[in-house]
């Protein structure tokens, strides 16, 4: 019974912390500089996820750095988050076919 109450309580806390900002925060009231900074969060998260994996890529470290470079190129040319991921995977799959 205690475990069930713990799970329900955690679910309620998680729900409240996600719903309250959604209804109380109007994105149009934020300054433009804050809005621009918030738009960069997915790319910052992508960098934090890609860099450690790129430096420890199994076949060759240069292969991982090539993938990181392609991801940065797609991101800086205005590609959306999904385009960066799919484009990098597609390019590295194509490159691995011819290299390995």
Domain ranges of the chain: 35-100
Residues 6 or more apart in contact with residue 54 via CB below 8 angstroms: 61, 64, 65, 67, 68
Residues 6 or more apart in contact with residue 51 via CB below 8 angstroms: 68
Residues 6 or more apart in contact with residue 70 via CB below 8 angstroms: 87, 88, 91, 92
| pLDDT (0 to 100) of residue 11 | 92
Taking only the tens place, the pLDDT of each residue in 35-80 is: 788 788 877 787 787 778 777 766 677 888 888 889 889 888 888 8
Q: Is the pTM of this model over 0.75?
A: no
């Amino acid at each position: 019974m205690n475990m069930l109450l713990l799970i329900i309580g955690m679910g309620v806390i998680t729900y409240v912390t996600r719903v309250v900002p959604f209804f109380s925060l109007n994105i149009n009231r934020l300054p433009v500089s804050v809005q621009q900074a918030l738009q960069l969060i997915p790319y910052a998260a992508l960098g934090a996820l890609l860099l450690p994996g790129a430096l420890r890529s199994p076949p060759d470290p240069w292969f991982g750095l090539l993938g990181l470079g392609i991801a940065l190129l797609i991101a800086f040319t205005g590609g959306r988050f999904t385009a960066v991921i799919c484009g990098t995977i597609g390019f590295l799959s194509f490159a691995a076919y011819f290299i390995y």
